[in-house]
Amino acid sequence: SIDAVPRSIVSLHPSWRVSTGENVTFHCEIPGISGGNQTKWLFNGTNIPYQTSSFSITATIEDSGKYRCKIDNSSFSDPVYLGVYVASSKKPIVDTSKAILSLTPPWNRIFRGDNVSLHCKGYGTSNTNETQWFHNGNRLSEKTPTYDIIFATYNDSGEYECQTGDSAFSDSTFLGVYSDWLLLQASLLVIEEGEPLILSCHGWKNRNVYKVTFYHNNRSLNYWYENHNFYIPYATINNRGFYHCSGILWRIFYTSELLYIDFKGTLSYMQILIPLMTGILFGVDTAILVLTRKQLHYLLEKERILATKRSPKADPEAESKVQVEVL
């Protein structure tokens, strides 16, 4: 059904995922409608004192959470999550000579017919915005910092790279185009300690999905009657594993395919020590069991030999007498 009241939408720049100290700009708009007299913002369900369609903050950990907005008499937007993490001093320094390639929406798994925008951001002093785009090693004709894919097809799947200004080429970013009823989307396929993770249960042709459940290693995480994203604000190695979602689409129950999310980082000494101690204890228990069985076998064999020695010796003469008496 079509909403009688238009719904606002929230966008974040440069990304939904930033480190502390970075500047983030929030923008609220009604698609197809320009302007507006007053904007209302919510942070984790509470009013915040911004009344303009755009505002900027310098991100802190406390700014992580869900943001919603509405302009004039429009409906409130769906929540958009901002994840702020502390950049670890143990992580390698970002190579600022490379361009950075990002996606909007931030999913690298989409359906046929979906739209996605690829953005190329470069570092350097060059005044030119001319951008080179490559798809599976082939140069594309697009030369702007944003490359829009409208109504994606299977041919749009593959590895993308970009270069802008005097920056070096970006790392490769994979985009997968699928055909199914439900598709689990993840903001990251490889997580690091402390990073935020967002999961989305996406319905074919953007159809509404109801009674949505997210699963991690076949254990249910959360259930909503209406479809909402699932947020993990601080990822750890325990969040590694297989994820999927289920829900009702067109009055039929569907389950997405499994998606594996890996963990990248150094394990703590406890994460190494516990499995090591478990293995050592298992080995010790096994050795004790084997020794105990051997010792038990030895004792039983010894007892059998002693019992044989204690048995009365055979007396041929006595046996002969018994046989004569019987006869």
> Is residue 240 pLDDT above 90, yes or no?
yes
Does any domain span residue 308?
yes
* Bridge partner residues of 93 (DSSP): none
pLDDT band at 289 (very low <50, low <70, confident <90, very high): low
Question: Quick one: average pLDDT of 42-52?
Answer: 90
> Is residue 153 pLDDT above 90, yes or no?
yes
Q: Which of 136-140, 285-289, 323-327 tops mean pLDDT?
A: 136-140
Does any domain span residue 321?
yes
Cis status of the peptide bond prior to 105, with omega within 30 of 0: yes
Does any domain span residue 194?
no
Residue whose token pair is 């998606």: 259
Does any domain span residue 278?
yes
Does any domain span residue 108?
no
| pLDDT for position 15 | 76
Contacts 24+ apart (CB under 8 A), 150-158: 150/115, 151/113, 151/114, 151/115, 152/110, 152/111, 152/112, 152/113, 152/114, 152/115, 152/116, 152/177, 153/112, 153/177, 154/112
Alpha-carbon dihedral sign for residues 259, 265, 268, 269: positive
Domain span at residue 79 reads: 1-87
Question: Quick one: average pLDDT of 142-171?
Answer: 93
Q: How many domains does the structure of the chain reveal?
A: 2
> Is residue 316 pLDDT above 70, yes or no?
no
C-beta separation of 247 from 254 below 8 A: yes
> Is residue 113 pLDDT above 70, yes or no?
yes
Question: Quick one: average pLDDT of 17-43?
Answer: 85
> Is residue 4 pLDDT above 70, yes or no?
no
Residue ending a domain, among 70, 87, 104, is: 87
Dist. CA 194–CA 237, nearest whole Å: 10
168-193 tens-digit pLDDT: 999 999 999 999 999 999 998 998 88
- Report which residue type is found at 119: H
DSSP string spanning 78-142?
PPEEEEEEPPPTTSPPP-TTB-EEEEESS-SEEETT--EEEEEE--SS-----EEEEETTEEPS-
Count how many Cα atoms sit within 13 Å of the Cα of residue 281 in the half-sphere of its side chain. 6
Put simply, whether the predicted model's pTM sits higher than 0.85 gets the answer no
Dist. CA 322–CA 129, nearest whole Å: 121
Residue ending a domain, among 68, 87, 106, is: 87
- Reference 66, options 234, 229, 239; nearest CA is 229
Does any domain span residue 60?
yes
| pLDDT for position 301 | 58
Average confidence score pLDDT of the chain: 81
For residue 51, give the CATH number of its domain.
2.60.40.10
* Bridge partner residues of 255 (DSSP): 246
Does any domain span residue 100?
no
| pLDDT for position 157 | 97
Residue ending a domain, among 62, 87, 112, is: 87
Does any domain span residue 95?
no
